Amino acid sequence: MARSIVVTSGKGGVGKTTLTANLGRSLAKLGARVVMMDADIGLNNLDVIMNVENKVVYDLVDVIENRCRPKQALIEDIVPGLFVLPSAHSYNESQLNGQNLRALVNVLAKSFDYILLDCPAGIEAGFHRAVVAAGEAIVVTTPHISAIRDADKVIALLKSYQNPHIRVVINRSRGDLVLTREVLSYEEICEILRTAPIGVIPEDDQVNLLSNLASAYKSKTEGYGAFDLLAKNVHYGTTEIYDVTKKYRGFFGGIKRSLRKKV
């Protein structure tokens, strides 16, 4: 049976959908069969980031309302074993509930190793619907105080669902600012949230391009390595965290920090 993981955040704009896409690709590269489900009705953009928007024939709502079989709505990525289940661009959400979504997850679980649910930002109906359907949760935050505060609220809600597997990913972390203590480190953030980390993703222009241009980033960038490490932590249960400060240490690291601040 598949592991169903909801990727959520309290605040919009923290890179939750981009993280879902890249985690899915990295898990698939490990040999897992992965389906990424866009649970954000109306404001969905997972299909855009994955560059499959023009391939959508059926969507999540078509499957739930029995207009097609789940297999007909799935779109395969260029990475073998990775599939996207797109969401609807407009829909009366009152007809869609957590039980519908959970039933669909149970059907897909027979054919996949992972089901990643891209959850709507915030804590309204879309959040609760996605959380009910998942067995695990990854909470995405950035080092900004407002994002951390909202992540804390989301974690409290997840615990009310008695979800035993809640972990945190710190996204868009800048190693130069961590070293100069201008932003919180991942250890400090996770101490505030009282939740274990599962990954840290550095600020990477190539990752940002993925969300803006629906194009894959270069395989040798920091972001690529960080997402692969995150996927290994998810898949194998390891706890190795990507060190965003490494390249900013020492003499040459100091030069890089100075140049970064001038950009």
Confidence band of 208 (pLDDT split at 50, 70, 90): low
Rounded CA separation 81/83 (Å): 7
Residue 223 has pLDDT above 90, yes or no: no
Q: Residue 179 carries which DSSP code?
A: H
- The residue written with tokens 């400090």 in the block is 188
Residue 104 corresponds to which tokens in the numbers above? 């669909």
Cα separation values, 82 from 56, 119, 161, 246, 251, Å: 15, 18, 29, 32, 42
Percent of the chain with pLDDT over 70: 88
Q: What would the pLDDT profile of 90-141 be if each residue is shown by its tens digit?
A: 766 656 788 999 999 999 999 999 999 999 887 888 889 999 999 999 999 9
Rounded mean pLDDT of the chain?
A: 88
Q: What would the pLDDT profile of 20-73 be if each residue is shown by its tens digit?
A: 999 999 999 999 999 999 998 877 789 989 989 899 999 998 999 999 999 999
pTM of the model: 0.91
The sign one gets for the Cα dihedral 75, 46, 165, 208 is positive
**Alpha-carbon torsion angle 86, 48, 29, 116, nearest 10:** -40
Rounded CA separation 40/86 (Å): 9
Domain that holds residue 220: 3-262
* Total number of domains constituting the chain: 1
CATH of the domain at 116: 3.40.50.300
Confidence band of 161 (pLDDT split at 50, 70, 90): confident
Decide: 154 and 139 in contact? Cβ < 8 Å: yes
